[in-house]
Amino acid sequence: MFTAEMRELIKKVEATRTQRLGTAFPRMSPEEKDEVLKAYHPDYRESGFRALSLGVNRGDKVPVELADLLEANSRLAGQPLDLSRPAYDVDVLIVGGGGAGAAAALEATARGAKVLVVTKLRLGDANTVMAEGGIQGADKPDDSPALHYLDVMGGGHYTNKKELAAALVKDGPGAIKWLNDLGVMFDKEKDGTMVTTHGGGTSRKRMHAAADYTGAEIMRVLRDEVQNRRIEAIDFSPAVELILDADGKAAGAVLLNLETQEYLVARAKTVILATGGAGRLHYQGFPTSNHYGATADGLVLGYRVGAELVFADTIQYHPTGVAYPAQIFGALVTEKVRSLGATPLNIDGEQFVYHLETRDVAAAAIIRECYGRNKGIQTPTEGQGVWLDTPLIEMIHGEGTIEKRLPGMLRMYRKFGIDLRKDPILVYPTLHYQNGGLLIDEHGRTSIPNLYVAGEAAGGIHGRNRLMGNSLLDIIVFGRRAGAHAGEACRNVRLKALTLDHVAKYQQALADSGVVTDRVSPLVLPHYTHGRHED
């Protein structure tokens, strides 16, 4: 329910609606984008970052909350552990049971490898199910992977690792077909062609969706498929440290059974980290659209064995998180709402940014409107927000569009007495995605032999800013690539004695760098003490 003051302000939105409908709002020039990003994007707030004191990326800036975890003690420090009698012995160990982990498991299994998936929560509890609006793939006659590539690179400010962006787009059409053939129920026209829309920064309509629960639909099918193929998956068993062999190759992981608090050893010829993102670290105090388990565990595990981080200083704030009501503060309002024509407006009912600017630019423009120009709308819980004029959607596409294409959004707001077909909603940026992660090559390999990374924990594909729908694509493309490569490579791996010497070395490096901390990492689950995580 809106307050009486908000109802008064909504009248200003209604007053400008018809006139706005016929007017295209101009896009920003490159110079304007640069200016708003530098002045208002949280990536440019110096106080949000600090340089790492140890490890491969020593001296590089990362968010302070991540630095605290990278400079923390191992959970295994001082813990004697017998590595000679592993509880599990497999060809491919996959750490993480979201979309990337499941896709990797399917491909590795298809190559005859014995696969084990271990996951912190339940198989499928992951950021994949939080992605709503769609998955990109250049499979329409007016489109091509080359055009998709240009969009990906433009969105990432041309900082992306070119070979990774190329792999992403090249495999795009095949990824959509693979999912469709497995049974993902994409939105289709009566003749069976896929319904596609634009996202921010796309030059073609290539966003394939299952209404506004695309990630959940993809995960439904992948999880079924993992179970159908009898791939072993162990829930509530996060990896807390990687294991190497005497030659420094990845050779498994130490798992923590969350129920019994026991540590168990999993030995593996190849290891794929697919642990997802970091939203639950609430960088700079932002709320998050992320899953409960998104605590950067993979970055910590990978960094401790010497894998390199790239673009760890660039975070994606989704422009439209819920600003009101407080019960769903920070939850995702899918970009598809803007793809379908809803526009962001200030307190005077004026549009201030083109509705499909890339996410970093749109988020910075919203922050500027609220805190730079004082044109935001005050919410009852201290924060600010801007209007997203959702009734425009049905004026553009016809009655029934919201119910059909945004049923999740409609239901979410209805619970609080808000009908987004009739009234605009209040939004503000929410922490959504880590643009960077552990550096991989086209096969998902890191610089540590036999260690792969796929999904949000991997870095380089999106450069400094990811476009909508390229994350669902990346978990499929790089999950499959890593699974296929690891599934083949394991045949030639002969492991030597397992060791955790790198943990002792890391502890020594902490001491040598003068880091004094009683924190332990990986965090595993967020703490919600006093509104933010603290160890």
Under 8 Å CB-to-CB from 51, ≥6 apart: which residues? Answer: 58, 59, 60, 61, 67
* 3-class DSSP state of 335: coil
Question: 3-state class of 492 per DSSP?
Answer: helix
CB of 99 to ligand MEZ, least distance (A): 12
Query: Residue holding tokens 């490159």?
Result: 30
Q: What is the DSSP letter of 396?
A: H
Whether 414 is catalytic is no
Shortest Cβ distance from residue 87 to ligand MEZ (Å)? Answer: 36
Neighbours of 333 (CB within 10 A): 31
Our CB check for ligand MEZ shows the closer of 334 and 446 to be: 334
Collapsing DSSP to helix, strand or coil, 85 comes out as: coil
Please state the closest distance from residue 209 (CB atom) to ligand MEZ, in A: 8
When the beta carbons of 74 and 314 are compared against ligand MEZ, the nearer one is 314
CA distance 277 to 457: 6
**Residue 318 Cβ, how far from ligand MEZ at the closest point, in Å?**
6
Closest CB 133 distance from ligand MEZ, rounded Å:
3
- Catalytic member of 148, 282, 291, 318: 318
Catalytic residue of the set 223, 338, 405, 481: 338
* Residue of 287, 277, 273 whose CA lies nearest to 314: 277
Nearest by Cα to 179 from 209, 152, 200, 199? 209
Q: Which residues bind ligand MEZ (CB under 6 A)?
A: 131-134, 332, 334-336, 468-469, 471
Cβ proximity to ligand MEZ: between 201 and 444 the closer is 201
Tell me how many degrees the CA angle 201-202-207 measures, rounded to the nearest 5. Answer: 125
Give yes or no: 318 in active site: yes
Please tell me what DSSP assigns to residue 513. Answer: T
**CB neighbours of residue 224 within 10 Å:** 14
Closer residue to ligand MEZ, CB minimum distance, 66 or 211: 211
Taking CB atoms, the residue at the shortest distance from ligand MEZ is: 133
Nearer to ligand MEZ among residue 468 and residue 498 (C-beta) = 468
If the CB atoms of residues 335 and 360 are measured against ligand MEZ, the closer one turns out to be 335
Q: In whole angstroms, how close is the CB of 463 to ligand MEZ at the nearest point?
A: 15
- Angle subtended at Cα 51 by Cα 297 and Cα 371, rounded to the nearest 5 degrees: 90
Q: State the amino acid at position 472 in one-letter form.
A: L
Q: Which two tokens stand for residue 433?
A: 């995605």
Rg over CA atoms, the chain: 23
Q: Which is nearer to ligand MEZ, 133 or 526 (CB)?
A: 133
Q: Minimal distance in Å, beta carbon 417 to ligand MEZ? A: 24
Chain centroid, CA 24 distance in Å: 31
Whole-angstrom distance, CA of residue 524 vs CA of residue 316: 21
User: Which residues are annotated as catalytic?
Assistant: 318, 338
